[in-house]
A and B are shown apart, each in its own frame.
Chain A
Amino acid sequence: MPSPPPRSSPPARAEFRDGVVTVLPAVAAALPFGFLLGALAASKGLSPLEMGLMSGLVFAGGSQFVALDLWTSPAAWMSLGLAALIVNVRHVLMGTSIVRKMERFRGVAKPIALFFLADEIWAFAERRAAERSLTPAFYAGTTVPMVAGWLVSTVAGTLAGAVLGDPKIYGFDFAFIAIFIGLLAGFRHKTGFLPAILASAAVATLVHLVWPGPASIAAGAAAGIAAAALAARPDADAPTADDLDPGAMP
């Protein structure tokens, strides 16, 4: 439960500084992933400008890796938009939860804040709201360094990747698989994890063997989600900030 807002608001500058101090370790942790994302983007033919636009307008690391894994030339906007929607659908629940704690946010501050609701930003905001009232200044303090770090590291990675050349030579293409396995491990304590991955792996592989192409992803994902829902107990409760492994990317 968020504490009721005190009568005198805390000074915005101190709140902003608190946010910056809170987020800095997460920014440092995200830099290598941003760099790697940029290098992989370069191997798919993206320019530094395109990478920067994606990092600024999407600002969701996991879905950016997924999109680049699926990237074709020319880019297929419908499948990539759909992939981003599916990978990020968990943000619906995160947004629903954090919006209740934004009683100090006025006017367009809420929709602007929600634009930057990456996993870490959300987790830090939830933790802050559990201790005291969440202010726009604190939220901005966590967001500005995270966005800046993500833009700089992904664009720098794209510039470096253009020099490095074909990633297959170094086994670098396997970085996608390794990243997805690493991200999966972070979800392993979630309800329905085991039924979800077993059903998804089986169906995706079978569909891939019969009909190679992107259909295996949708079929596997649907099977995994259905398996988790079927295996669920009806008394599971609401998500909290503790549900989320503090990741290393937006």
Chain B
Amino acid sequence: MNLDPHTLWAILAMGVATYATRLAGLIVPPGFATRGRLKAAFEAVPAAVLTALIAPTVLATGPAESLAAAITIVAALRLPLLAVIVIGVVAAALLRATIG
């Protein structure tokens, strides 16, 4: 049950950052970012961040990762998240073992 000080600081930083975004609702005016480009920018943040996180692995690591990702994307369009994870992990393991 160790508690590393660097880890503790990182968790506190994450907690403060997250709470700040939730608490901001108390001071942000009601009409803020409810329409137009600013709303689109806010709404696109999670998709843009998640894509940037996976793109290098998916597109520039190797054929096994790219193919496993393609299979995972097809699964994600029709199956629940848990099934998507299982399919992705199994596809990655099998493809790495066969085509490298």
Q: Which residues of A contact B (CB under 8 A)?
A: 32-33, 36, 46-50, 53-54, 57-60, 62-64, 66-67, 69, 74-78, 80-100, 110-111, 114-115, 117, 170-172, 174-187, 190-193, 195-197, 199-205, 208-209, 212, 216-239, 243, 247-248
Q: Which residues of B contact A62 (CB under 8 A)?
A: 46
Q: How far is the CA of A212 from the CA of B57 in the complex (A)?
A: 11
Q: How far is the CA of A225 from the CA of B41 in the complex (A)?
A: 5
A172 contacts which of B1, B58, B65, B89 (Cβ < 8 Å)? B89
Q: Which residues of B contact A111 (CB under 8 A)?
A: 23, 26
Give A85's nearest chain B residue, CB to CB. Answer: B17
Taking the closest CB of chain B, its distance from the CB of A109, in whole angstroms, is 12
Instruction: Tell me the interface secondary structure of chain A in the complex.
Output: helix
Flag whether B99 is at the interface (Cβ < 8 A). no
Q: How far is the CA of A59 from the CA of B92 in the complex (A)?
A: 29
Q: How far is the CA of A203 from the CA of B60 in the complex (A)?
A: 12
Q: How far is the CA of A174 from the CA of B68 in the complex (A)?
A: 9
User: Does B52 contact A174, Cβ atoms closer than 8 Å?
Assistant: no
User: Does A114 contact B23, Cβ atoms closer than 8 Å?
Assistant: yes
Taking the closest CB of chain B, its distance from the CB of A173, in whole angstroms, is 8
User: Does A94 contact B6, Cβ atoms closer than 8 Å?
Assistant: no
Taking the closest CB of chain A, its distance from the CB of B99, in whole angstroms, is 13
Q: Which residues of B contact A239 (CB under 8 A)?
A: 34, 39, 43
Known A174-B89, A236-B40, A237-B34; judge A92-B48 contact (CB<8 A): no
A-B contact pairs, 13 of them (CB 8 A): A78-B13, A81-B13, A95-B23, A171-B93, A175-B89, A180-B53, A208-B56, A229-B41, A229-B44, A232-B39, A234-B35, A236-B40, A237-B35
Q: Which residues of B contact A (CB under 8 A)?
A: 1-4, 6-26, 28, 30, 32-60, 65, 68-69, 72-73, 76-77, 80-82, 84-85, 87-94, 96
Q: Which residues of B contact A220 (CB under 8 A)?
A: 48, 51-52, 55
Q: How far is the CA of A212 from the CA of B21 in the complex (A)?
A: 29
Taking the closest CB of chain A, its distance from the CB of B38, in whole angstroms, is 7
User: Does A46 contact B25, Cβ atoms closer than 8 Å?
Assistant: no
Taking the closest CB of chain B, its distance from the CB of A96, in whole angstroms, is 4
Q: How far is the CA of A225 from the CA of B46 in the complex (A)?
A: 9
User: Does A183 contact B7, Cβ atoms closer than 8 Å?
Assistant: no
Count the A-B residue pairs with Cβ separation under 8 angstroms: how many? 335
User: Does B49 contact A87, Cβ atoms closer than 8 Å?
Assistant: yes
Give A178's nearest chain B residue, CB to CB. Answer: B88
Q: Which of A50, A81, A235 has the most C-beta atoms of chain B within 10 angstroms of its own C-beta?
A: A81
Q: How far is the CA of A202 from the CA of B48 in the complex (A)?
A: 11
Q: Which residues of A contact B15 (CB under 8 A)?
A: 54, 57-58, 84
Q: Which residues of A contact B76 (CB under 8 A)?
A: 181-182, 184-185
User: Does A81 contact B16, Cβ atoms closer than 8 Å?
Assistant: yes
Task: Beyond the given A86-B45, A186-B81, please list 15 additional residue pairs across the A-B interface where CB-CB is below 8 A.
Answer: A36-B85, A67-B10, A80-B14, A93-B32, A95-B28, A171-B92, A178-B85, A181-B76, A185-B73, A197-B47, A199-B48, A200-B47, A224-B47, A248-B80, A248-B81
Q: How far is the CA of A36 from the CA of B68 in the complex (A)?
A: 19
Taking the closest CB of chain A, its distance from the CB of B88, in whole angstroms, is 3
Q: Which residues of B contact A172 (CB under 8 A)?
A: 89
Known A32-B82, A183-B81, A225-B48; judge A92-B43 contact (CB<8 A): no
